[in-house]
Structure 1
Amino acid sequence: MSASRRPAAEDALLLTVVQLVAREGLHARGIELAHVSRAIDGFVNELPSVWSLANAYAKTRSLRCMQFVAPKALQPSYRTWVVNNVVEMTLRHGDVEALKWVAERYAPESSLTKAAVVAAAEGRLDVLQWLYQRHYSRVHWGGAEWCEAVRAGHKHVVEWLDCHVKPHVEAAPRLMLDAARAGDLQLVQSLHKNYELPVVNALVEAQKSCQWGVAMWILMSGEVEDPHVDMDLVAADGDVDFLRWLHRWLQQHRTEGCDPTALSRAVAGGHLDVAMFLRRERGLACSFRRDEILLRGLRLEMVQWLVTTCREELEQGVQLQVARPDWHFNDRMRDQDMQIVSQDDSNVVWKWSPRR
């Protein structure tokens, strides 16, 4: 049967075998057998004509396959799109050899900005250094690669970029927000100083990501007029040290009270020290409502504090889920006159319904 008439399943199986032989049997061991390579090449050269360079690599992860498909690849107007796709795939799979072939042989004039961006996202400092040393002019430096490295938390890449690549003015505002979300206070400070950027949006993003060190610096800087601090987020996150600092700061700079739901958020998160602080220093009451929330995974100490301290504020119907094997915890729930509303092999759900 000719190659053009083979069933699709047989094609897929044979192609898999060819890939295995080429990758594991030859190339991975540094073996170069010309006659075997030619035989494999003969088969690979019969790959579907509709395959683009991206198709070839996506299906085979083979540099040799890309080399055969390359002469039949898409027209020049699509070359940048194809190169970007292939560059991303090769980097995601750590295939630097294929990346270098695409950059230096297949498309020696194409932009490699996408390669720098993906390398930064993947933490591949070696690739960034290669691009910087060998193909500097083919990368639009100082933008997206900075943001990707910061978002991914690759500090070694960020440190290298800080020494070699200055963020360009257009990218600096977005980079500051990424730095605030990632908790990179040094970068936030640097961007604020060198680009004279406002920090009001950085304060918002830092709070959303619970980066309280960044939030603290912005509040202390006095750069934000009438700043808003989301006490609910602080309580839910459980950072009692920042909460204590924030309490002192609010006493000195603000007059408004604290959102009453903050204590409930702390309880739901199992943060006993935060709940006790909010109760004692801010005078907050619990605001759980009937059938509103099912408290899961709380420690016994938290539940004991809750039913002792906030007993009069809890409405009947508040539910607590306890692991079934924890017989001591379940006994304490029974001692508090709670009622079982459901149970299975893993958990028991108790309803707060004490005697009046």
Structure 2
Amino acid sequence: MGDILIAEWLVEQGAEWRQVSDVIDGYVANQGRLDVLQWLYARGQIEKDLLLMLSAANGGHFHVARWVIEVIEPHDGGTRIDTFPAVVFAIHTAASHGHLEIAKFLRECTKEVDASELEGLDGVVVIGSIEFVSGKTMREAAEKGCLDVVQWLYHEYGHDVDLFVNNDGTPTNAIDGAAGNGHLEVVQYLHGFPNSSDLASRKRKRGDESAIRSVPTCTEAAMNAAASHGHLAVVQWLHENRTEGCSTVAMDDAAASGHLRVLQWLHEHRTEGCTTAAMKNAARYGHLEVVRWLHYNTRVGWVYERSYGRRGDEWTSKHREMAACASIGRMHCRCDELSCRTWRVRRRKMASRESE
């Protein structure tokens, strides 16, 4: 798609025009092919299409978004108010994908619309474009690590929109998302917000009676997710600067993902520990070094079937390392096969000598 020379040749040969669908328009805009859009528009194949704006914003193509605003809309018999809903939703789309330049440009376009013009527009609250930028926008920008977008959203919309709650009133926990993806700078920025009581005190001193907006929140899911994805620096920072802590999920998931350094650090600095899921999943996914470390440094034990009975319990307790390694073999581990086989043989010999 997008070969203009072939399209020109087909037209010259008398090929029949078919109305370009909105889906095709949107795809071309999402790919940033302004040349194709201009070619189609010059031949009357593009009508006013709000999908173009959203697709350009989603793909991060500023030149396409500007062209739609400056060329198509003014010459299509409409007014800015006609495209207002698409533009303001495109701000959310651009911001949540980290395309700050587009978000800023579109935001300026909405300021050209007088609030009085919005009175009769269905689905638009008379407070400008802020009803389309929400806590979801902030959360998605934070999850992607777009610090510049997070800062811009707060300074541009923070006075009018509660950027840290969902539409149902629950906290967005934006810090959790940023931490889970390893975006420490975003975590630190959001952490730096004053708490609700401090905000209320400042407003009272200024005589400001406006509503108190929410502040960024964090849960134990932040450290859990950071550990699961191997972001040790984030785990350490949360440990030193936040009070939410973590749960056994942190070590369990770190083990399952093979993040041995994270596992070791949590074991030394945190008290939550891990469960039998740590060794089971480390074995399942072939992390032999993690299985070894868990065997020598934790007391979580090995998961065995109840049908093994008491004797099975005693054997598994005594030979957890052998049980773990045997399980690795059964579960088609992704670790080095030779290393696993050598280790298994060595442990069998040791067990044999112990029984003599």
For normalisation by structure 1, the TM-score amounts to 0.61
The verdict on how the C-alpha distance between 1:114 and 1:309 changes in structure 2, with shifts beyond 3 A counting, is: same
Aligned pairs, how many? 269
Q: Does residue 246 in structure 1 map to residue 238 in structure 2?
A: yes
Larger Rg: 1
Matches of residues 222-237 of structure 1 in structure 2 within 5 Å? 222-223=194-195, 224=215, 227-230=218-221, 231-237=223-229
Indicate conservation of the 8 Å contact 1:103/1:112, yes or no: no
Q: Aligned with 2:192: secondary structure?
A: helix
Q: Does residue 27 in structure 1 map to residue 10 in structure 2?
A: no
Offset, 1:184: 1.2
Query: In structure 1, what residue type is equivalent to 2:302?
Result: E
Q: How far, CA to CA, are the matches of 1:86 and 1:114 in structure 2?
A: 10
Query: In structure 2, what residue type is equivalent to 1:206?
Result: A
Q: Does residue 129 in structure 1 map to residue 66 in structure 2?
A: yes
Q: Does residue 183 in structure 1 map to residue 153 in structure 2?
A: no
What's 1:60 paired with? none
Indicate conservation of the 8 Å contact 1:286/1:314, yes or no: no
What's 1:295 paired with? 283
Q: How far, CA to CA, are the matches of 1:151 and 1:92 in structure 2?
A: 15
What's 2:265 paired with? 277
What's 1:265 paired with? 253
Q: Does residue 217 in structure 1 map to residue 194 in structure 2?
A: no
Q: How far, CA to CA, are the matches of 1:241 and 1:305 in structure 2?
A: 21
* Structure richer in strand, relative to its length: 1
Offset, 1:272: 1.2
Unmatched 5+ stretches in structure 1: 1-18, 45-64, 71-81, 339-354
Unmatched 5+ stretches in structure 2: 111-128, 165-170, 196-214, 305-323
Larger deviation: 92-101 or 325-334? 92-101
Indicate conservation of the 8 Å contact 2:220/2:246, yes or no: no
What's 1:16 paired with? none
Indicate conservation of the 8 Å contact 1:121/1:148, yes or no: yes
What's 1:162 paired with? 104
Indicate conservation of the 8 Å contact 2:91/2:102, yes or no: no
Indicate conservation of the 8 Å contact 2:279/2:291, yes or no: no
Query: In structure 2, what residue type is equivalent to 1:214?
Result: V
What's 1:10 paired with? none
Structure 1 residue corresponding to 2:302, chosen from 290, 308, 315: 315
Query: In structure 2, what residue type is equivalent to 1:221?
Result: F
Matches of residues 40-51 of structure 1 in structure 2 within 5 Å? 40-41=13-14, 44=15
Indicate conservation of the 8 Å contact 1:324/1:330, yes or no: no
Q: Does residue 143 in structure 1 map to residue 88 in structure 2?
A: yes
Offset, 1:239: 0.8
Q: Percent of pairs identical after alignment? A: 19
The verdict on how the C-alpha distance between 1:213 and 1:334 changes in structure 2, with shifts beyond 3 A counting, is: farther
Offset, 1:115: 0.8
Stretches of 4+ aligned residues off by more than 6 angstroms:
29-32
Q: Aligned with 2:271: secondary structure?
A: coil
Query: In structure 1, what residue type is equivalent to 2:62?
Result: L
By relative contact order (CA 8 Å, sep 6+), the higher-ranking structure is: 2
